[in-house]
A and B are shown apart, each in its own frame.
Chain A
């Protein structure tokens, strides 16, 4: 079966693209209500779902249908009226399919925001129009910037509670701009005044705020140009698995399988395998049963080479003219996820691309106060949610890039070797 794109004869859904976004805000900023509203007004909520939350809302004595109940699916969440974990939600319009990572605003759950942001191309940061830009807003924007989300929407919510005031909106915009000038990864910031509860400027334009001439939130999400997140210059194929059929028909087939993390691979291309440094030429590029003309990010493919060299899981196939960095000393920003503070003498394992290796914490350089963006060089104890800079030494060499250059080959997680918990997320500098 052909795995080529069928764009020529396609209509509608075959051409749709995908936008992954995350939502952040503090407690009671109305995130879940906003998501419920987006889905409800774009008709992504089904009748039985609506019926079920109507029933639950009534039982809880809520005045309006509580749309938050759509995403707060766990019993503890409904009982406490809070969102505990990242909830993934899906909806589509004729233009785009959307994946939402709804992340809770509770301060102890910042790790969830980092998690949701790691796969997002856009972040919606909710600001309560009555409270303005607060510490949490800065914290969330800092994380979006750190995780290299290039597009941020500041959704100024609860405009109905400030009498749809343009001044209140303008002040928030000014305050945020002052703060955001220091966030260098964010390419574009949009400001939209909304009322998630009443629906103003979410899907339909507000009649209460004639002074606002910009797009509604949904229109913005549908049309914002999110350039390819992938790096199409530096060719990288982290090898996940070696396909060896051992069948008569494919007796000598050795396919190096992985998901392209950057650049383009074509038959005939000269490649180098790292860390060994051996050269070869690409014989064939395959995508699930069919031969492809080329492979690029984020496609999962397998490639065959013109000579037999020793390649295994964890190796990286790249091009000779722009190799990845190879090394065991890693300088990185990390976010600490565990309730147990970081013990620099602890035993950890690093997971980077398809590689797993033992790792030592060589040096803790500083922590960042993410409300002021100041470096804290005296306090070096990483507690839950702390972000800062460390140097690591890995037991075997990694093939990596900076996180700025490549989100796939520049990211890693640290795993506690005894509990197996994922205790930190890292971005290589």
Chain B
């Protein structure tokens, strides 16, 4: 008898491609939010598969905090030219200069909240009606309640208590003028699935994800890479350690882990043995128990 078994990775891939095609079909001006992180890299890879041999029928949008690791930008530009994709950059730096957002003060200031306004402005400017994000439900407990097609009101806000039910594989992207959707094709993936899929597909990642030697400081139990944006404070000492990053965000808040995993295989082993979630090192989530929910309600991705 013919075996029509489909592995879990293939099922997840198939589901994500289905969502990407629904997005292209149901919306007039979708956009893919590209952060340079591994989830958005996988999502971009899936988008190139979904519409092959045609090009991805929507642009990529990068909300640039200005606090990037140079490796991220290099990787982004190379990928965009390879795919022949259209890249739009929304700059937090420029939003600050324009006075649309005001930089946080204090020693733990972060540009995380500023990204929200910059993103909402960019969505409005580009008249985008759907923004594809690489967020997964396993990342954080407020995200566990997120829909594939997540409605945002005219202020870009999320109303978690009043979400549209999603049944079978039917997605309702109807909306009124001024509203938009956030769409999460990787909702059902776990961190492990993402790594396994990258290995299966031979997807290359920015070098930051692999173990390397780097100058770091330890701040609030988080290992931060020393860069032009992160300088040692009084009492902090700069050390060189063998580290890698598990997520990729603003350089001022993305914590590293000590690791010897310098290949995809070793990273998968490390993820399997890990006893801390990947966002465990994100200072932005540690601000309060509902930090993520609050940011999402305000329009974060």
Say if the beta carbon of A188 comes within 8 Å of chain B.
no
Say if the beta carbon of A236 comes within 8 Å of chain B.
no
- On whether the beta carbons of A73 and B140 are closer than 8 Å, the reply is yes
- On whether the beta carbons of B277 and A49 are closer than 8 Å, the reply is yes
- Residue among B169, B274, B289 making CB contact with A52, cutoff 8 Å: B289
- Residue among A5, A99, A246, A257 making CB contact with B188, cutoff 8 Å: A99
Interface size class of B (residues with CB under 8 A): 35 or more
Measured CA separation A422–B196 after assembly (Å): 35
Stretch binding the partner chain, chosen from B46-54, B64-72, B74-82: B46-54
> Which residues of A are found within 8 Å of B2, using beta-carbon distances?
232
- On whether the beta carbons of B145 and A413 are closer than 8 Å, the reply is no
- On whether the beta carbons of A243 and B54 are closer than 8 Å, the reply is yes
- On whether the beta carbons of B167 and A118 are closer than 8 Å, the reply is yes
- On whether the beta carbons of B174 and A296 are closer than 8 Å, the reply is no
> Which residues of A are found within 8 Å of B142, using beta-carbon distances?
73-74
- On whether the beta carbons of A253 and B290 are closer than 8 Å, the reply is no
- On whether the beta carbons of A300 and B167 are closer than 8 Å, the reply is no
- On whether the beta carbons of A71 and B52 are closer than 8 Å, the reply is no
For the complex formed, measure the closest distance between the CB of B296 and the CB atoms of chain A, giving whole angstroms: 10
- Residue among A5, A232, A289, A300 making CB contact with B18, cutoff 8 Å: A300
> Which residues of B are found within 8 Å of A255, using beta-carbon distances?
53
- A73-97 contact mask (Cβ, 8 Å, vs B): 1 or 0: 1111010000011111110100011
Measured CA separation A74–B2 after assembly (Å): 45
> Which residues of B are found within 8 Å of A411, using beta-carbon distances?
167-168, 170
Say if the beta carbon of B22 comes within 8 Å of chain A.
yes
- Residue among A6, A70, A257 making CB contact with B200, cutoff 8 Å: A6
Say if the beta carbon of A31 comes within 8 Å of chain B.
no
- On whether the beta carbons of B160 and A46 are closer than 8 Å, the reply is no
- On whether the beta carbons of B52 and A288 are closer than 8 Å, the reply is yes
**A257-B21, A300-B17, A349-B174 given as contacts; is B165 within 8 A of A46 (CB)?**
no
- On whether the beta carbons of B141 and A73 are closer than 8 Å, the reply is yes
- On whether the beta carbons of A300 and B50 are closer than 8 Å, the reply is yes
- On whether the beta carbons of A14 and B200 are closer than 8 Å, the reply is yes
- On whether the beta carbons of B141 and A288 are closer than 8 Å, the reply is no
Interface size class of A (residues with CB under 8 A): 35 or more
- On whether the beta carbons of A415 and B141 are closer than 8 Å, the reply is no
- Residue among A78, A118, A245 making CB contact with B168, cutoff 8 Å: A118
For the complex formed, measure the closest distance between the CB of A309 and the CB atoms of chain B, giving whole angstroms: 19
> Which residues of A are found within 8 Å of B202, using beta-carbon distances?
1
> Which residues of B are found within 8 Å of A92, using beta-carbon distances?
190, 192
- Residue among B49, B170, B192, B290 making CB contact with A289, cutoff 8 Å: B49
Q: Which A residues from 237 to 259 make CB contacts under 8 A with B?
A: 240-241, 243-247, 249-250, 253, 255, 257-259
Q: Which A residues from 281 to 310 make CB contacts under 8 A with B?
A: 286-289, 296-300
- On whether the beta carbons of B11 and A18 are closer than 8 Å, the reply is yes
Output the nearest chain B residue to A73 by Cβ-Cβ distance.
Answer: B141
Measured CA separation A3–B17 after assembly (Å): 13
**A16-B8, A17-B8, A47-B276 given as contacts; is B54 within 8 A of A246 (CB)?**
yes
Say if the beta carbon of A230 comes within 8 Å of chain B.
yes
Q: A84-B161, A250-B54 are in contact. List 13 more A-B contacts (CB 8 A).
A: A17-B8, A48-B276, A76-B161, A84-B160, A92-B190, A118-B167, A241-B24, A241-B25, A247-B54, A289-B52, A299-B6, A300-B50, A421-B164
* B contact set with A: CB distance below 8 Å: 2, 4-11, 13-15, 17-18, 21-22, 24-25, 46, 48-55, 137-138, 140-145, 160-161, 163-170, 172, 174-176, 187-188, 190, 192-193, 196, 200-202, 274-277, 280, 289-290, 293
Interchain residue pairs A-B with the least CB separation, the first 7: A73-B141, A288-B49, A300-B17, A245-B54, A118-B167, A18-B8, A48-B280
* A contact set with B: CB distance below 8 Å: 1, 3, 5-7, 13-18, 46-49, 52, 56, 70-76, 78, 84-90, 92, 96-97, 99, 111-112, 114-115, 118-119, 228, 230, 232, 240-241, 243-247, 249-250, 253, 255, 257-259, 264, 286-289, 296-300, 313, 337, 349, 351-352, 354, 407-408, 411-413, 415, 420-422, 425
